[in-house]
Amino acid sequence: MGKRALLSLLLGLVSSFILSCATKPVVHEQAFILIPHSQELAIGNRAAAEILKKEKLVKDPRYVKRVERVFKRLLKALPPKFRKLYEWKVYVLNNPQVNAFALPNGNIFVYKGLLDFVKDDDELAAVLGHEMAHVILRHGAEKISWAMLAQLGENLLLSQVSPVNRSLAAELYDLGVNVAFLLPYSRKQEKEADIVGLLITTRAGYNPEGAIKLWERMVSRFSGQEPPEWLSDHPASKERLDYIKKVVEFLRKHPQYVEKFEIPQKLLEVD
C-alpha cells in the first residue's frame, strides 16, 4: 500500500470514529457504534435462532415461571422508550453453568445453574437487571464496532509487513489489542451494566441488597478460580462487590436518580 493510500485510509478511520460517536442513554457517555439499531436487532435475532437450535430449554415451570415473573416486573419498571426499542424475551437454558447473557435484540438467556445458585428473587433480579442494562447501553453494538475497527487496523498493519512475518505480526497485534484495549473496555462495560442494572432493580422495587449478597457468594465460590484481571473481560469479583456496595448506598441516599433513570458520572468512576 502506498503512502497516499495509507493516509487516505487513516483519514477514513478517523472520520468513521468521529461520525460514529453517539451518546449512551442513562450514563450519558460517548459510544463508538458503526451499526444501526436495525442491524443490531437483526444480529440478535440470528444469534438467538442459532442458540435455540443448539441448546435445550428448561421446561420445568418452577424455573420458567419464576424467571418470567421477575423479568416482566423489571421490564415494566423501564421507561417506555426502552420497552419499545427491543424484542424483550427471556429463556432458561438447561446448562449447569452459573451464568446468563444478553443479545443486542433484548433476548436474555439464563442458565439453570444460575437459578440453582441464586437464593431469592432479589438476587435473580440483580442478574436480569444487569443483562437488561447491557442491551439498553448497546454494549453488543459497541463490541461489534470495536471488533470491526480492530480488524481493519490489523489488515492495515499486515499490508505493511512482509509475507514471511505476517503470521507473527498478526499474533502480536491480536494480543496487544486485546490486553491493551478490548479487554479493559469489556471490563468497563461490565461495570456500567452492574451500575445501571442496580438502577433497574431498584426502580422495580426489588431490594438492591440482593446484588451484594449474590456477589458475596460469588467471591466466596469463584474468586480463586479467576484469571488475572488484566487477562479477563470481567472485573474481578472482589472489585465488583466493593463498588456494588457503594452504588447501592448511593442510590439509597439519592432516589432522584432512580426516578430519573440516570447515572451521574461520579458513580461510574467509583471503585
Q: Which residues are catalytic?
A: 131
Separation of alpha carbons 33 and 145, rounded Å: 5
For 68-106, the DSSP string reads HHHHHHHHHHS-HHHHHHS--EEEEE---SS-EEE-TTS
Nearest to 222 by CA among 237, 241, 243: 237
Separation of alpha carbons 54 and 160, rounded Å: 41
91 φψ region: left (φ > 0), alpha (ψ -120 to 50), beta (else): beta
Separation of alpha carbons 116 and 46, rounded Å: 29
**What residues are paired with 91 via a beta bridge?**
109
Separation of alpha carbons 190 and 108, rounded Å: 16
